[in-house]
Amino acid sequence: SQKIEQNSEALNIQEGKTATLTCNYTNYSPAYLQWYRQDPGRGPVFLLLIRENEKEKRKERLKVTFDTTLKQSLFHITASQPADSATYLCALDSGYALNFGKGTSLLVTP
Amino acid sequence: NAGVMQNPRHLVRRRGQEARLRCSPMKGHSHVYWYRQLPEEGLKFMVYLQKENIIDESGMPKERFSAEFPKEGPSILRIQQVVRGDSAAYFCASSPNERTSNQPQHFGDGTRLSIL
C-alpha cells in the first residue's frame, strides 16, 4: 500500500540555523508533491508544490527538493526563526484527494 | 476574500447523539474535501464532493457517516450515533477544480469533536 513517512521525532534547532525535514514515500509514482504547515489548533496551510521533473523549488527562505529515484523530498528552512516553529506535512496526490504524512514538529529556539 | 469556514470550532456530544459539521468553501470553489485527524495521526481523506454530488467517499466509514454539498448552503458532514472513537479534528478543504495533484488545497481550521 502507499506509504508516506516523515521523521516522527521533533526537530529542535537554534534560531538562524537551517532546518531540514525529510519525506519518504513507497509504492507511489507521484507527479507532484506538496508541503504544508500546521500550527496547533489550526488547519494546514499550503507552502510549496514541486513537480516530478523539478529537482528543486524555492520560495523566500524555503527550499524543496524532489528525488523520484530515492523517492524522497527534503524541505529546508534557511535562517530559521522562532516563528517557523510548527508541524510540517508532506502530501502526495492519491486519487481525488491528498495523502498526508504524519508530519514533523519543528521547534526553533532563540 | 474569506477562506474556508468551518463551524462549530468545537463540538461536544454524548455517545449515541448526532454530530453535524458544516463547511463553507472559499468563494468560487465548488470542490470540497473532508479529512479526519486523530491524535498523533496524519490527516486521512474521508470524502470528496462537488455541488450536489459525492464523487469519492472511499475514506468514509460505511455506517453512521454521511456527507452532502447541496446546491445552496454549506457542505455538511453528519455522524449519527457517535462513539468515543469518533473524537477527532475534522477538516474541510476546498479547491476551484478537481485537479488536486497540481494545485493547493485550502483548509479551514477544523471542528474538534469530543465524545463524552
**How far is Cα B41 from Cα A100, in angstroms, rounded to an integer?**
10
**Contact between A49 and B106 using a beta-carbon 8 Å cutoff:** no
From A38, which residue of chain B is nearest by alpha-carbon distance?
Answer: B109
pLDDT at B1 over 60: no
B-chain CB neighbours of A43 within 8 Å are 4, 91, 93, 107-110
Classified as helix, coil or strand, B5 is: strand
Do B100 and A96 lie within an 8 Å CB cutoff? yes
CB contact under 8 A, A42 and B103: no
pLDDT tens sequence across A34-70: 999 999 999 999 999 999 889 899 999 999 999 999 9
Which position has the higher pLDDT, B10 or A96?
Answer: B10
The predicted pLDDT at position A55 comes to 87
Among B45, B109, B110, the residue with its CB nearest the CB of A98 is B45
Cis peptide preceding A82, ω within 30 of 0:
no
Q: Report how far residue A42's alpha carbon sits from residue B99's, in angstroms, rounded to the nearest whole number.
A: 24
Mapped to the 3 state alphabet, what secondary structure does chain A carry?
A: CCEEEECCCCEEEECCCCEEEEEEEECCCCCEEEEEEECCCCCCEEEEEEECCCCEEEECCEEEEEECCCCEEEEEECCCCHHHCEEEEEEEEECCEEEECCCEEEEEEC
Residue B84 pLDDT exceeds 80: yes
Closest alpha carbon within chain A to B38: A102
Residue A13 has pLDDT above 90, yes or no: yes
Residue with cell 460505511: B62
The C-alpha cell that represents B88 in the structure block:
477527532
CA distances from A67 to A4, A58, A83, B43, B70 (A): 14, 15, 28, 24, 41
What confidence category does residue B99 fall into, taking pLDDT thresholds of 50, 70 and 90? low
% of chain A surpassing 90 pLDDT: 79
The pLDDT value recorded for residue B42 is 87
Evaluate whether B104 touches B1 at the Cβ level (below 8 Å). Answer: no
Of B41, B43, B109, the CB nearest to A42: B109
Q: What is the least distance, in Å, from the CA of A70 to any CA of chain B?
A: 20
Comparing alpha-carbon positions, the chain A residue that sits nearest to B104 is A46
Q: How far is B65 from chain A (nearest CA, A)?
A: 18
Q: Is 70 exceeded by the pLDDT of residue B100?
A: no
Are A97 and B33 a contacting pair at CB < 8 A?
yes
Planar angle of CA A58, A91, B37, nearest 5 degrees: 130
Would the CB atoms of A95 and B56 count as touching at under 8 Å? Answer: yes
Q: Which residues contact B112 (CB under 8 A, 6 or more apart)?
A: B9, B10, B11, B88, B89
